[in-house]
Amino acid sequence: MPELRRDPVLGRWVIVAHERAKRPSDFPVELQRKSPDFCPFCEGNESKTPNEIYAVRTRDSKPNTPGWKVRVVPNKFPALGIEGDLDKRGHGIYDRMNGIGAHEVIIESPSHNISLTELSETHIEDVYLTYLNRVKDLDRDHRMICPMIFKNVGFTAGATLEHTHSQIIATPVVPRTVLQEMEGARRFYDYRGRCLFCDIIAQEKDEGVRLVEENDSFVSFCPYASRFPFETWVLPRNHQARFDKESPALMRDLAGLMRRTLLRLERALNLPPYNYMIHTTPFDNQDVEYYHWHIEIIPRLTKVAGFEWGTGFYINPVPPEAAGTFLREVDI
Amino acid sequence: MPELRRDPVLGRWVIVAHERAKRPSDFPVELQRKSPDFCPFCEGNESKTPNEIYAVRTRDSKPNTPGWKVRVVPNKFPALGIEGDLDKRGHGIYDRMNGIGAHEVIIESPSHNISLTELSETHIEDVYLTYLNRVKDLDRDHRMICPMIFKNVGFTAGATLEHTHSQIIATPVVPRTVLQEMEGARRFYDYRGRCLFCDIIAQEKDEGVRLVEENDSFVSFCPYASRFPFETWVLPRNHQARFDKESPALMRDLAGLMRRTLLRLERALNLPPYNYMIHTTPFDNQDVEYYHWHIEIIPRLTKVAGFEWGTGFYINPVPPEAAGTFLREVDI
């Protein structure tokens, strides 16, 4: 019999349909790494991107030239513009404002034919230190309200360039999902006096069946009410509401845990398209007790269809206990 | 400069990025209508589906034999099971219940090689009368809380069988999106004393630029805060909260308006994959003043990527004014 499960953060219900259960090999896999004619993210092509904002480079190399490990540039086709003001206005019964914000690309490696998991842990640590530095810098611009760091891998997951990269968009309003997550977490805190996410970590470690990886600072698991097959969340073990308030020293453990978790997903699902998103509070929230930053990884294996769009109710053909077990047992 | 727009129902913000504006011909089109080896929905194959629940058939034909125009059967691989009880329970900090509900398929034509828009208006009227009858019947089962009627067209939109069909899922809880829509509409009503959707219709008719089609009973338009390129909504002009409280006589006008609206989308976008969903209130809501049933049509032209998943914030590369104009001007 299928099960309904409720996401304790958003109040979102999920149907876990055991009868529809699939094995990882049942999913089609997208062809990746076709050679493009030209890649603006490759070393040597620095002049083909907007000027760099930040880079991890060798001491004697100059900006916008080779010699970098990680490089941040403005998105050439930004979803939000960095210049101007918001100009909030009504339009009849509707509301509008200008699309002010930041949209940056973090190029994770100078090499084209390498994925995030093929980088050394030290190199991935540099990528996550770059995330941290960029978000801290965006916090200084008072127009920026909320940062979203995300990574799209594969055409199906929305990647338009295959060269390994992440993106940051800082929005001038608090996005709905962030607001709803915070409201959900606050309701739990008001009722129980504890952080919901800290409770989730405790139960996941206690049960173990949905766990994927853990180290001294982080844990990853398939959430109880996973919307998607093999959906996996990564949480810091110690309470912290904001990603950008974490110590830089913690990025080494994050790199280690993310590499191992993503490697398991890649091996289990034969290099699936996926997205990951860092969920953190808006900039004006100082160390709230009730929220806990985390990363959500969603392999893009199933189609989202009319029912999901109409209801926000997802149909997940792989119980997270089966997904967790499979991911733990795969060789990496 | 891109614009931010707020959906007045859900409070969801959308970036309308004029700089990314595309024309319909820029979108890739999926190959459709490959011949399958065998189709259980075709006339003559009635024994290959579960027994029919309802059908529009010639007077002398017997159930589960040829002679039908529209046929409803239980989904052979249902997302929710019709038998049993909910067994609501906690699981540590999580909540669960059994997946009780209904999942039916409405086969819209006995012929395989025909799409909804190629049917006569009288035939489409029979399809919508079937929706109406099935929802009224499901309302009699006290375990069913909320009906969702939807249609998936094309592989990218989640259709697994190409033979033209719709589906109904009745859930045992109120889905999050339905709840949030009702909350949003109620807030507007509490503040202004009017139905939000009635106000939207008035403004859309007044402005005209986003209008697609209208007749005596219905209007279709690209919503102000469209999440997706060429997203189109269909609303009854007279206030009515529940789809299943509409008069059967109105289904003729609905059929006419839907056929013309979908035909415009098909011509403009070269038979795009799409979903449509009927948004209506849960069964226990009697004639509420603040909600207004409607249909949302979403062509599936763009990929949903990390930013959208993380924030609920969509990036729409086609302003709805451009989409509305294009749809009005296409020849049908």
The enclosing domain of B150 has a CATH number of: 3.30.428.10
Tokens of B297: 């049509």
In a domain, A36, yes or no: no
Cross-chain CB nearest to A306 (options B2, B20, B150): B150
pLDDT of A20: 41
Best mutation target among B5, B10, B20, B95 (most A Cβ atoms within 10 Å) is B95
| Lowest pLDDT segment from A27-31, A323-327, B55-59, B272-276 | A27-31
Domain count, chain A: 1
In a domain, B104, yes or no: yes
Average pLDDT over residues B243-271: 96
- Measured CA to CA, the distance from residue A150 to residue B224 in angstroms comes to 27
Contacts of A158 (CB under 8 A, 6+ apart): A152, A275, B303, B304, B305, B306
In a domain, B217, yes or no: yes
pLDDT of B11: 56
Q: What are phi and psi of B309, to 5 degrees?
A: -65, -35
Q: Would you write out chain A's pLDDT as a tens digit for each of its 332 residues?
A: 445 666 555 654 555 554 444 444 454 433 444 556 899 999 999 999 999 999 999 999 999 999 999 999 999 888 888 888 888 888 898 888 888 899 999 999 999 989 999 999 999 999 999 999 999 999 999 999 999 999 999 998 999 899 999 999 999 888 888 888 998 999 999 999 999 999 999 999 999 999 999 999 999 999 998 888 899 999 999 999 999 999 999 999 999 999 999 999 999 999 999 999 999 999 988 778 999 999 999 999 888 999 999 988 888 888 899 899 999 999 99
Residues of chain A contacting residue B84, judged by C-beta atoms under 8 Å apart: 1
Residues of chain B contacting residue A207, judged by C-beta atoms under 8 Å apart: 92
**Cβ distance A258 to A324 under 8 Å?**
no
Classified as helix, coil or strand, B71 is: strand
pTM greater than 0.80: yes
Average pLDDT across chain B, whole number: 89
In a domain, A315, yes or no: yes
- Measured CA to CA, the distance from residue A105 to residue A50 in angstroms comes to 10
Q: Answer left, alpha or beta for residue A81, where phi above 0 means left and psi between -120 and 50 means alpha.
A: beta
Give the chain A residue whose CA is nearest to the CA of B16. A99
- pLDDT above 90 coverage of chain B, percent: 67
- Enumerate the β-bridge partners of residue B95: A6, B90
Give the chain B residue whose CA is nearest to the CA of A168. B307
In a domain, B229, yes or no: yes
For the four alpha carbons of B46, B52, B56 and B61, in that order, the dihedral sign comes to positive
**Cβ distance B276 to B269 under 8 Å?**
no
pLDDT above 90 for B84: no
In this prediction, residue B3 has a pLDDT band, given cuts at 50, 70 and 90, of low
Give this complex's ipTM.
0.89
Q: Which of B240, B230, B199 is nearest to B298 (CA)?
A: B230
In a domain, B161, yes or no: yes
* Inter-chain touch A277–B309, beta carbons under 8 Å: yes
In this prediction, residue B36 has a pLDDT band, given cuts at 50, 70 and 90, of low
Residue numbers of the domain that contains A290? 3-29+43-329
In a domain, B191, yes or no: yes
- pLDDT above 70 coverage of chain B, percent: 89
- Enumerate the β-bridge partners of residue A95: A90, B6
Residues of chain A contacting residue B99, judged by C-beta atoms under 8 Å apart: 1-4, 15-17
The pLDDT tens digits of the residues spanning B175-196 come to 888 888 998 999 999 999 999 9
* Chain B CB within 8 Å of residue A151 CB: yes
- Measured CA to CA, the distance from residue B57 to residue B67 in angstroms comes to 6
- Start-to-end CA distance of chain A, whole Å, equals 33
pLDDT above 80 for B30: no
Best mutation target among A88, A93, A151, A194 (most B Cβ atoms within 10 Å) is A93
In this prediction, residue B10 has a pLDDT band, given cuts at 50, 70 and 90, of low
In a domain, B187, yes or no: yes
Q: Which of residues 43-82 of A touch B (CB under 8 A)?
A: 77, 79-81
In this prediction, residue B287 has a pLDDT band, given cuts at 50, 70 and 90, of confident
pLDDT above 80 for B15: no
**Cβ distance A293 to A223 under 8 Å?**
no
- Measured CA to CA, the distance from residue A269 to residue A27 in angstroms comes to 8
The pLDDT tens digits of the residues spanning B114-155 come to 999 999 999 999 999 999 999 999 999 999 999 999 999 999
- Measured CA to CA, the distance from residue B180 to residue A243 in angstroms comes to 28
Contacts of A191 (CB under 8 A, 6+ apart): none
